[in-house]
Amino acid sequence: MYLMPRLFGITMYCLIMLIFIIALMVSKKSKFILFIYAIVLAVMAYFYVPSYTADLYRIYNMMEYYVSMPFNEVLSVAVTSETPAAILYYYYIGKTGFPNLLPSITALIYYGNVFSIITRVKRKYKLNRNSVSIIVLFVMAFGQYVQVISGIRNMIAFSIIAKCIYEEFIENKKIISNLWKYVIAILFHQSATIVFIIRIIYEISTFNRTSSKDKAFKVSGIFIIIVLGIKYGQGLFRTVLSSATHYLTRNVYFYFWEFLLTALHILLIIVLMQRYKKLLKSEKNVLCLYRYVKIMIIINLIFIFEYNTFQRFSVLISMLMIPLLGKILKNIEENYKIPFNKNTRVIILLFSIIILLLACVRGNLSALKFFV
C-alpha cells in the first residue's frame, strides 16, 4: 500500500543524507551544515503523513481533543498525568492551527541535540571532515527518523538526557546543574525516569572517588531526587509494574526486521567498544562514559525480546556512543596506516550501509511517506 509515496519518502531521506554527508566531507563548516540538515529534517517532518497504525496518528487525535478543551481542563489533565510536559506540548502546538508543526518541531529538538553532541565531539577531538561524516552516517543510517517524528515524547526525552550525559561525563558539568533538564525529560516520558535512576545509581557508585565539594553536590542532588521520588514516584512504579506484567505475558508487538537492524546496530557498538577497550579506558572522562554505556547495553540486552524497550533504548545508546566513536575515529586518524584501524572504518561503513538498507526496505523508514 502507498508503494510510490513510500519509495519517494525513502529516496528523499537517503538522497538528503548523502548530500549532507558529502557536504561534511568537502566543507570545514560542519556546525553550519548540521544546522541546515536539522532544519531540512524538520521541514520533511512537517509533510510526513502517518499511517493509521502510527503513534503520530493517535497523537493528532489527542491533540485535537486537548485543543477543544478549556485551558483549565487541559491543565488539570496535565497535572494528574505522568507526562504533563507532553500534554502541554501537544496543546500549545495544536493551538497554532498547524498540527504538522508537532513532528517538525520534534525533529528540530531531537536532531538539534544530537548534532550539538556531534559538533562538540568534533571540536573536542579536532576530528577531520571524514570522521565527522562517518559519525553522521552512523547516526542517520540507523533509520530512527520515523520513530522520532511519530513517537514524539520518548525521543525528545532521550535526546535531552543524551546531551546531559555528554555534558556531565565529557565536559565535567555537575549533574545538579542539569537536574531541571532531567525533570523536563521525565515529564515528557516515563522511560526517561529509568535512565535517570540508572544515572543516579552510577553517580552514587563513584561517590568515593570524588572531592569533598563534588560530594556535597551529589548529596544535595540525591536528597532532591529522594524528595521528588517520594512525592511523584508512585505513578511511575505503577507504570513500571504494569509494563513488567505486560512483558512477562508476552502480549507485546514484535517486528523481526526492525529488531534485526537494531540488533546489528547494537552489535556494531559492542564490537567497536571491545576492539578499542584499552583506548576508551585511557582517559578518565571517556572511561566513565564507556562504563555507563556498557551498563545501558547490558540492561537493554536483558529486554532484547521486549520490542519497545529494546528499540527505544538502542536509540539512546546510539546517541551515547557518539563521543566514544569520536575518540575511536581520532585514534584512527592518527594511526591510519595500521591495518587494524583501516579495518575498523570498513566495519563501520559496512554495518551502517547494511543497517540503512534494512531500515529502508523493511524497517521504520519504509513507512516514510509525504503528501498522501
What the block records as the C-alpha cell of 50 is 502517518
What pTM, to 2 d.p., does this model score?
A: 0.88
Q: For residue 366, what is the DSSP state?
A: G
Residue 314: the pLDDT is: 94
Check: CB of residue 352 under 8 Å from CB of residue 141: yes
Residue 248: the pLDDT is: 37
What the block records as the C-alpha cell of 103 is 513532528
Residue 78: the pLDDT is: 92
Longest dimension (CA), the chain: 66
User: Which one-letter amino acid corresponds to residue 51?
Assistant: S
Contact partners, residue 305, CB within 8 Å, separation at least 6: 254
Q: For residues 299 and 294, give the distance between their C-alpha atoms in angstroms, rounded to a whole number.
A: 9
Residue 226: the pLDDT is: 55
Residue 120: the pLDDT is: 97
Closest C-alpha among 30, 3, 50 to residue 370: 50
Check: CB of residue 325 under 8 Å from CB of residue 122: no
**What are the start-end ranges of the H helices in the chain?**
3-26, 30-46, 55-67, 71-80, 84-95, 101-125, 129-140, 145-151, 153-169, 179-188, 191-205, 212-248, 256-275, 277-280, 284-302, 307-334, 339-361
What the block records as the C-alpha cell of 112 is 538539534
What the block records as the C-alpha cell of 238 is 505503577
What tens digit of pLDDT does each residue of 225-267 get? 555 555 555 555 455 445 444 443 444 445 788 889 999 999 9
Residue 241: the pLDDT is: 44
Q: For residues 247 and 251, give the distance between their C-alpha atoms in angstroms, rounded to a whole number.
A: 7
Q: For residues 275 and 271, give the distance between their C-alpha atoms in angstroms, rounded to a whole number.
A: 6
Contact partners, residue 4, CB within 8 Å, separation at least 6: none
Q: For residues 113 and 1, give the distance between their C-alpha atoms in angstroms, rounded to a whole number.
A: 34
Residue 249: the pLDDT is: 41
Phi, psi of 13 (to 5 degrees): -60, -50
Cα distances (angstroms) measured from residue 277 to each of 54, 89, 97, 271: 39, 41, 51, 10
List the Cα angle 153/300/124 in 5-degree steps. 75
Residue 87, Cβ density class (10 Å: 0-12 exposed, 13-18 middle, ≥19 buried): buried
Residue 297: the pLDDT is: 95
List, as one string, the DSSP characters of 144-188.
-HHHHHHHTHHHHHHHHHHHHHHHHHTS---GGGGHHHHHHHHHH
What the block records as the C-alpha cell of 74 is 487541559
Run means of pLDDT, 10 residues per run, the chain, 372 residues: 80 95 94 97 94 90 93 92 92 94 97 97 95 96 92 94 96 91 92 89 73 57 55 52 44 69 94 94 92 94 85 94 96 88 91 92 82 65
Domain assignments of the chain as residue spans, ordered by start? 3-367
Check: CB of residue 173 under 8 Å from CB of residue 77: no
Residue 244: the pLDDT is: 41
